[in-house]
A = this chain, B = another copy of it.
Amino acid sequence: MISEFDLIAKYFAKPATKADLGVGDDCALLRQTTGMQMAISTDMLVSGTHFFPDTDPRQLGHKSLAVNLSDLAAMGAQPIACTLAVSMPESNETFIAPFAEGLLALANQHGCELIGGDTTRGPLNICITVFGQIPTGQALRRDAAKPGDEIWVSGTLGDARLALAHMRQELQLEETQFQRVLPRMLKPTPRVELGIALRGIAHAALDLSDGLLGDLTHILDASHVGASINTDWIPMSKILTMQETSWRHQCTLGGGDDYELCFTAPPEKHDQVIEAGKRAGVTVTHIGKIEEETGLKLYNASGTLHQDNIRSFDHFAAQKK
């Protein structure tokens, strides 16, 4: 069996380029620059909880880093480095080789250098910590939403949950439809470029990992504000549009794992937001408004309040926990 040291050397120890010191010592060393903040996030993915045990290792490598980069994106930070700790039942090269390939391909795409890590024996568990740079004071924080702000989301919502629904046989998609939504669950795209493009434009932001209702509530709580959302404005894929209303709501409002950004910006920056989306290569859609009065109100296109449904939407959000 290949040892821990050999595994690290073979697949993960690349010469440091951004870091002052990379893999191979007790610590890695990153240079600091006055006027910049280091954004740091850590996420743990567990087999059976966050992914199916038979998930393709290459996609798992991608997703493990993607969910972390998504946290940097949500702050508007530029990725610079990451550490990787993995426990696995055995030092299995047929797993680790494609896993490393998937992870490093995404890391390279974003200039995110692997600077350290730990491999050990145990049930499959992947813990990544990411580091990003952001000029001091420009981070998009959850507590920065202001009454009057427009609420936006990137891309389309709900396809990851739709794919999961098919896999759980909660509903039945055609095979071609399933194959089109599946990558949204297995291989999410962190909106790094959009987060950076929104610096100085957006007020508050976060990434949608637990579903729009639950995640937006974090912004509202942290900012001590409320919001109204027009559920008919929420962008979704053509395939999701073809599903029953209750599934459209479940997937877009309660479904997690989309890793799109949800953010707020003052209405006078409406055009700049659209422009930032264009620069970042992703559509951005205005779905509602931040209000002084706390609480989250859901409307449909005709302006009617979803009075009776709010409790069931809450239930969708609660299901995810």
Contact = CB atoms under 8 A, between A and B. Distances in A.
A75 B26 contact: yes
Copies in the complex: 2
Contact of A29 (B3, B35, B49, B134): B134
A272 interface: no
Contacts of A74: 26-27
A122 interface: yes
A161 to B, nearest CB: 19
Contact of A27 (B31, B71, B85, B143): B71
Given A48-B122, A85-B44, A87-B49, A29 B34 contact: no
Contacts of A49: 87, 120-122
A39 B24 contact: no
Contacts of A115: 40
A93 interface: no
Contacts of A84: 42
What bracket does the count of chain A residues touching chain B fall in?
35 or more
A44 to B, nearest CB: 4
Interface string A112-137: 00011110111101010101101010
A222 interface: yes
Contacts of A24: 142, 222
Interface of A: 3-4, 20-21, 24-44, 46-50, 71-72, 74-75, 77, 81, 83-87, 115-118, 120-123, 125, 127, 129, 131-132, 134, 136, 139, 141-143, 205-207, 222, 321
